[in-house]
């Protein structure tokens, strides 16, 4: 079950172009699921065009779904207790934050095509412009920042954008 932490949005057309759209959800111990987190992300991104914020390109939305899935799945697997998802859309950027109860710092494993599992955080780093880990009183929070390329640009996955050939 998703319990809303709060939502603030620039819902009126013509609102400040520098507005921030925010969404938060919290799951009790054992109730979090990557599916619910992806559904929340999709609904959140679909709300952006109803505000002063531009639509998120499909490729950026797919990267965001991967990030949400991996971060929430890691919280479920490695951190007992509740977990939170916080989404912020602002100035052509998307910030995805997952809070969990484990104080253990996440480890990015080297690529190994023979290893089963352990690739998620490396993928998050690959599609994100920046990933930050911060300790909290109980646990930690991981925030991935994704730049949202304009429709006439294609994301390279390295945080850079190149003009699309047309």
Q: What does the pLDDT look like over 26-72, one tens digit per residue?
A: 999 989 999 999 999 999 998 877 776 777 888 999 999 999 999 99
Backbone angles phi, psi at 164, to 5 degrees: -80, 140
What are the angstrom distances between the C-alpha of 51 and each of 82, 89, 99, 106?
31, 11, 27, 35
The overall average pLDDT reported for the chain is 79
Specify the pTM. 0.77
| pLDDT at residue 136, as a whole number | 94
Could you tell me which of 140, 109, 102, 134 has the C-alpha nearest to residue 124?
Answer: 109
| pLDDT at residue 108, as a whole number | 78
| pLDDT at residue 13, as a whole number | 42
Give the confidence band of 73 by pLDDT, cuts at 50, 70, 90. Answer: very high
On the question of pLDDT at 9 being above 50, the answer is no
| pLDDT at residue 153, as a whole number | 43
Domains annotated on the chain, with CATH: 3-9+20-163 (3.30.565.10)
| pLDDT at residue 48, as a whole number | 76
Give the confidence band of 2 by pLDDT, cuts at 50, 70, 90. Answer: low
Distance CA 48, CA 111 (A): 35
pLDDT > 70 in the chain, percent = 72
- DSSP H helices, 50-157, are 58-78, 120-127
């Amino acid at each position: 079950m998703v319990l809303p932490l709060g939502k603030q949005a620039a819902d009126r057309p013509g609102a400040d172009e520098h507005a921030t759209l925010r969404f938060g959800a919290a799951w009790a111990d054992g109730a979090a699921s990557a599916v619910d987190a992806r559904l929340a992300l999709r609904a959140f991104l679909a709300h952006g065009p109803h505000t002063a914020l531009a639509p998120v390109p499909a490729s950026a939305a797919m990267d965001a779904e991967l990030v949400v899935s991996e971060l929430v799945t890691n919280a479920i697997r490695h951190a007992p207790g509740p977990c939170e998802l916080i989404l912020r859309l602002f100035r052509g950027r998307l910030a995805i934050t997952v809070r969990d109860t484990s104080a253990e710092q996440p480890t990015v494993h080297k690529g190994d095509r023979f290893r089963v599992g352990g690739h998620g955080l490396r993928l998050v780093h690959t599609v994100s412009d920046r990933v930050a880990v911060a300790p909290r009183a109980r646990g930690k929070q991981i925030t991935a920042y994704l730049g949202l390329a304009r429709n006439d640009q294609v994301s390279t996955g390295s945080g850079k954008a190149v003009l699309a050939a047309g």
